[in-house]
Amino acid sequence: MSATRPDMAALWPFVADRPPAEVVTPASRAEAAGEVSRALRHGLSIVPVGAGMRLAEANLMRGVEWLAIDMTGMNRVLAYSPDDMTVVVEPGVTAGALQSALAEAGQFAALGLGSRPSETVGGLVAANAQGRRQCAYGLPRDQLLGFRAALSNGEEVRFGGCTVKNVAGYDMGKLFCGSHGTLGLITELTLRARPLPPVCSTLSPAAPSLADAVAAGMALHLARLLPTCLAATHGVGTALTVEFSGGSDTVAWQIEQARRVAAGCGMQAEAATPPEVEPSPPAIPGPGVAWLRAATVPTALEGLCRSLEPCLSRAAAHVAVGVLEAEVTLREPLDDIERRLFAAGCRHLRWTRLPQSERATRDAWRVPAAQLPLMRAVKAALDPACAFGPGRFAGRI
Amino acid sequence: MLRADQVLTDPVEMLAYECDAYTIHKGRPDVVVHPESTEQCAAVVRLCARMGVPFTPRGTGTGLSGGATPLCGGVVISIMRMNRVLSVSPADLRLRAQAGCINSTITRAAAPYGLHYAPDPSSQTACTVGGNVAENASGPHTLKYGVTANHVSGLTVALPDGSVVELGSDADEPCGYDLVGLCVGSEGTLGIVTEVTVRLTPNPRQVRTLLAVFGSVDDASRTVSRIIALGIVPCALEMMDSIIINALEDAFAMGFPRDAQALLLVELDGLGPGLDAETAAVRDLCSEHNARSVSAAASEEERARLWFARKQGVGVLGRVAPNKVTQDGLIPRSRLPEVLARIRAIAERHSVRLCNIFHAGDGNLHPCVIFDERDPDELRRVLAANEEILRLCVEVGGSITGEHGVGVEKRDAMPLMFSEADLAAMRRVKAAFDPAGLCNPGKIVPEPSAEAVPA
């Protein structure tokens, strides 16, 4: 096993039912493709690994020998054109390093803006993970302009490009975003950059409950301001966090408007210490708790929060996009929690952290069954050897 | 399954279905059908699948790359009569419509709530949202607001075996593989989209629209590059050259100066505070780059008139020559001045008449070559110039198509951008949805080259 990633050893039980046969750390595209070929020759399955913080989000892989390909050795910014607002990176570059490189030219990329700058860009894309600013910038799927990947047929492919629009051929990037490394090994990414807003200002009025904070958030959503974050948060306390970014005039004006709307909802006093807007699930799931990400529409979010009130310990409800991220204390069966969520209008659900006792039997995704045959066909088309994380994806694909 | 009035078999009536707005390639359908529901559409597809007959979905035929051309004959499935808005949820910023609903009908349905549908192709009063999904359509305002893929969250699709599947939902993010993201832009080759859930966008509170007049294309394109480089994000940034300006003057007497070499239409929007300062910055940039004049639309009517001119700019070329081919190359925005100069040189070398009207802000060029197809020598020169322009776009790191799609027009140019391995992966994805290859055959991905086919 590689001596470079001793931090990973504790994570392997959450990836597979056995440790990897080997951990390799390629330093280039050619080396990465070579490792994929070698794994295929030896009949090994493959799991790409970045910072490791989201490895426990996908299902447990069982019954296969596997190779961990640690992408943190491929961590360079390869090309950056501030005038075109595009940047080409290796997947192991950390979000923090990427943002630092772009900030020098007064720009940023709208991914990995949260509290964990050590996450890799490849990992964020593989998880299609976005934090509090999803309402303003969308998901990593909306930032990815092009990519290269090594596939299990031994070929390297490249899709998309360096332009901000492109409709040449199927949009394979959409499939790879959120695929958790189960379609191929991403070896290069081209991302959209944006101008850094000159001012960013936040308002965090305290709220009596998460549902009340969501209701106030809805009032702000309907006021049609342009927040870069609109999250009801619950933890040590409860608050509504509203963030505006842009020119100083427009930010100051919006803060004033938001203050009025919040006051109209009876929320005037700033929270002394607002809870985290992006509560971070631990890399390694703890016992007795689970983390979920539930998607619905904004008008159903308050109901979702109320349905979970008895078991919520930490939560961020992103009002404008209808997403609830929450830590729940498991005092009742997970099936009961799921039933309540779907009865309250949840459209789909992912368990992003489950206790190990649940991971052997439970699919982390709740995807409509009718979509699974197509997803299996897509997996077979892009990963014909079924080498990339078999069983780790939705429906144990 | 269908009433008699939903089926066309008369060869004369079917003439209009032989191609879309890309007229160089045509195909004769054996029958044209007009389903009115998802169920009827799926029933037709099931019949085609059972009988091994190819089928081609079609909206209103405004596509510019031959996506709706029935290359292999068979059944053309027109979605024109599936044109209803099904529901509007203003608080959730969602609208659900049948796929044949016209783009601008969606915005009209959203208007009472102060909302609109952001993708706004020039054909928006005629094109269908299903066609927009097929082509991942965009328009001038997608510079700020994004393309169709950013505004669609759910689809109902009749798959090529005739089964019906719901992909995505009205929620904001996908779950599992993003099949909605894959289907958007797949040009009707993976199935027939019958219903669409779109995101609605709040109308901007304030808008400023500027018209800058330039004495040279170079100055105008340098202004565009500078606006983008300074981090100003207009909601639209459009350029028109002198041939377009004069054609518009001939047709509509817009009042544009006939001796201008380029017009820039710049629109900025926002909540209000700070917008005037940003508009002033754009004005200054135009002046610094030798704009002869910069004027602001003084009223909504004046703004609408400017946009009318922009959206009629391609259609009006019909007055200049009997035929036109509109290219759709995409380039990195910083290369705009250089690429426009090289495109001019290509046109001169091939002795073809070429004009430019395009989305300058995102580097999406629409060089229009105007010609008379009855002159075979001119047609040959037009096709040669076209190919050279496509090669140029790829050479500078761009794409052969930014919003019109590959269709049949650019299918054989795909190897300019993609390796055989890339194309083979696309073929496998197509086969995952359509193993029999009956759904809109002959589009997007060329057949494997002879040397790539294993012996």
List pLDDT tens digits, range B288-334: 999 999 999 999 999 999 999 998 988 898 888 898 888 899 999 88
Q: Are A322 and A293 in contact (CB under 8 A)?
A: no
What are the residue ranges spanned by the domains of chain B?
Answer: 4-78, 85-202, 206-315, 321-431
Evaluate the CA torsion angle A354, A356, A357, A359 in order and state its sign: positive
Check for a shared fold between B206-315 and B321-431.
yes
Under 8 Å CB pairs connecting chains A and B tally to 259
Alpha-carbon distance B187 to nearest alpha carbon in chain A (angstroms): 9
What does the pLDDT average to over A108-131? 93
Of B255, B223, B217, B227, nearest to B357 by C-alpha is: B217
Cross-chain Cβ contact B172/A321 below 8 Å = yes
In terms of CA atoms, which chain A residue is nearest residue B173? A295
- Chain B residues near residue A226 by CB distance under 8 angstroms: 270-271
In terms of CA atoms, which chain B residue is nearest residue A108? B231
CATH class of B206-315: alpha beta
Per-residue pLDDT for A1 more than 50?
no
Q: For residue B215, which phi and psi values (nearest 5 degrees)?
A: -90, -10
Q: Which fold has domain B85-202?
A: 3.30.465
Hey, how many other C-beta atoms are within 10 angstroms of the C-beta on A108?
Answer: 19
Q: Using CA atoms, how far apart are residues A292 and B142, in angstroms rounded to an integer?
A: 33
Instruction: Look at residue B451 in the predicted model and tell me its pLDDT.
Output: 56
Hey, is the C-beta of A250 within 8 angstroms of any chain B C-beta? yes
Of A358, A299, A363, nearest to A328 by C-alpha is: A358
Contacts (Cβ under 8 Å, ≥6 apart) of A394: A363, A364, A365, A367, A372, A375, B175, B176, B177
**Three-state secondary structure readout of chain A:** CCCCCHHHCCCHHHCECCCCCEEECCCCHHHHHHHHHHHHHCCCEEEEECCCCCHHHCCCECCCCEEEEEHHHCCCEEEEECCCCEEEECCCCEHHHHHHHHHCCCEECCCCCCCCCCCEHHHHHHHCCCCCCHHHHCCHHHCEEEEEEECCCCCEEEEECCCCCCCCCCCHHHHHCCCCCCCCEEEEEEEECEECCCEEEEECEECCCHHHHHHHHHHHHHCCCCCCEEEEEECCCEEEEEEEEECHHHHHHHHHHHHHHHHHCCCCCECCCCCCCCCCCCCCCCCCEEEEEEECCHHHHHHHHHHHHHHEEEEEEEHHHCEEEEEEECCCCHHHHHHHHHHCCCCEEEEEECCHHHHCCCCCEECCHHHHHHHHHHHHHHCCCCCECCCCCHHHC
Q: Using CA atoms, how far apart are residues A176 and B178, in angstroms rounded to an integer?
A: 8
Cross-chain Cβ contact A374/B179 below 8 Å = yes
Instruction: Look at residue B399 in the predicted model and tell me its pLDDT.
Output: 96
A276-319: per-residue pLDDT in tens?
Answer: 888 878 888 788 999 999 999 999 999 999 999 889 999 999 99
- Domain B321-431 indexed as CATH 3.30.70.2740: yes
- Chain B residues near residue A169 by CB distance under 8 angstroms: 406, 414, 417-418, 422-423, 426, 444-445
- Chain B residues near residue A155 by CB distance under 8 angstroms: 421, 424-425
Per-residue pLDDT for A146 more than 50?
yes
- Chain A residues near residue B205 by CB distance under 8 angstroms: 224
Instruction: Look at residue A4 in the predicted model and tell me its pLDDT.
Output: 53
- Chain B residues near residue A170 by CB distance under 8 angstroms: 182, 185-186, 426, 429-430, 444
Residues of chain B with pLDDT > 90: what percent? Answer: 89
Determine how β-strand B75-78 pairs with β-strand B31-33.
parallel
List the CATH code of the domain at B4-78: 3.30.43.10
- Chain B residues near residue A161 by CB distance under 8 angstroms: 330, 397-399, 417
Cross-chain Cβ contact B92/A128 below 8 Å = no
In terms of CA atoms, which chain B residue is nearest residue A172? B182
Instruction: Look at residue A3 in the predicted model and tell me its pLDDT.
Output: 43
Residue-by-residue DSSP string for B8-65: E--TTGGGGGS--S--SS----SEEE---SHHHHHHHHHHHHHHT--EEEESSS--SS
What are the residue ranges spanned by the domains of chain A?
Answer: 6-72+383-396, 74-195, 197-366
Residues of chain A with pLDDT > 70: what percent? Answer: 98
Cross-chain Cβ contact A379/B233 below 8 Å = no
Hey, how many other C-beta atoms are within 10 angstroms of the C-beta on B29?
Answer: 26
Instruction: Look at residue A9 in the predicted model and tell me its pLDDT.
Output: 87
Alpha-carbon distance B411 to nearest alpha carbon in chain A (angstroms): 9
- Chain B residues near residue A377 by CB distance under 8 angstroms: 432-433
Cross-chain Cβ contact A177/B89 below 8 Å = no
Cross-chain Cβ contact B404/A142 below 8 Å = no
Beta bridge pairs of residue A185: A150
- Chain A residues near residue B279 by CB distance under 8 angstroms: none
Question: Residue B206: enclosing H or E segment and its boundaries?
Answer: strand B206-214
A3-51: per-residue pLDDT in tens?
Answer: 456 678 888 999 999 999 999 999 999 999 999 999 999 999 999 999 9
Q: Are A291 and A359 in contact (CB under 8 A)?
A: no
Mutate to test the interface with A, among B178, B392, B410, B439 (most CBs of A within 10 A): B178
In terms of CA atoms, which chain B residue is nearest residue A345? B171
- Chain B residues near residue A156 by CB distance under 8 angstroms: 421
Beta bridge pairs of residue B208: B268
CATH class of A74-195: alpha beta
Partner residue facing A374 (CB), from B138, B165, B229 = B165
In terms of CA atoms, which chain A residue is nearest residue B188? A170
- Chain A residues near residue B181 by CB distance under 8 angstroms: 141, 171, 173-175, 177
Instruction: Look at residue B241 in the predicted model and tell me its pLDDT.
Output: 93
A251-284: per-residue pLDDT in tens?
Answer: 999 999 999 999 999 988 787 777 788 887 888 8
CATH code matching the domain that covers A197-366, chosen among 3.30.9.10, 3.40.190.10, 1.10.3720.10, 3.40.462.40: 3.40.462.40
What does the pLDDT average to over B163-175? 96
Cross-chain Cβ contact A367/B405 below 8 Å = no
Better pLDDT: A99 or B448: A99
Average pLDDT value for chain B: 95
Per-residue pLDDT for B454 more than 70?
no
In terms of CA atoms, which chain B residue is nearest residue A194? B231
- Chain B residues near residue A141 by CB distance under 8 angstroms: 174, 178, 181
Cross-chain Cβ contact B176/A248 below 8 Å = no
Hey, how many other C-beta atoms are within 10 angstroms of the C-beta on A367?
Answer: 20
Hey, is the C-beta of A108 within 8 angstroms of any chain B C-beta? no
Alpha-carbon distance A6 to nearest alpha carbon in chain B (angstroms): 31
Partner residue facing B169 (CB), from A249, A348, A374 = A348
Cross-chain Cβ contact B277/A247 below 8 Å = yes
Alpha-carbon distance B202 to nearest alpha carbon in chain A (angstroms): 7
Sheet holding B323-326, edge to edge: B293-296, B206-214, B262-270, B236-241, B353-359, B367-371, B323-326
Cross-chain Cβ contact A170/B444 below 8 Å = yes
Alpha helices in B29-176 (DSSP H): 38-51, 103-110, 129-135, 142-145
Alpha-carbon distance A331 to nearest alpha carbon in chain B (angstroms): 27
Partner residue facing A167 (CB), from B136, B422, B431 = B136
Of A210, B419, A225, B68, nearest to A242 by C-alpha is: A225
Q: Using CA atoms, how far apart are residues A56 and A70, in angstroms rounded to an integer?
A: 15
**Which tokens sit at B434?**
């359509």
Cross-chain Cβ contact A298/B91 below 8 Å = yes
Cross-chain Cβ contact A374/B91 below 8 Å = no
Please state which of the ranges A106-115, B147-156, B185-194 shows the lowest mean pLDDT: A106-115
Alpha-carbon distance B229 to nearest alpha carbon in chain A (angstroms): 5
- Looking at residue B173, the DSSP 8-state letter turns out to be S
- Looking at residue B403, the DSSP 8-state letter turns out to be S
Cross-chain Cβ contact A161/B426 below 8 Å = no
Please state which of the ranges A263-272, B352-361, B414-423 shows the lowest mean pLDDT: A263-272
What does the pLDDT average to over A351-367? 92
Residues of chain A with pLDDT > 90: what percent? Answer: 87
Of B216, B256, B220, B257, nearest to B238 by C-alpha is: B220
Range A97-100, long-range pairs (CB < 8 A, 24+ positions): A98/A191
Residue-by-residue DSSP string for B266-296: EEEEESSTTHHHHHHHHHHHHHHTT-SEEEE
Per-residue pLDDT for A178 more than 80?
yes
Alpha-carbon distance A44 to nearest alpha carbon in chain B (angstroms): 22
- Domain A6-72+383-396 indexed as CATH 3.30.43: yes
Question: Residue B430: enclosing H or E segment and its boundaries?
Answer: helix B420-433
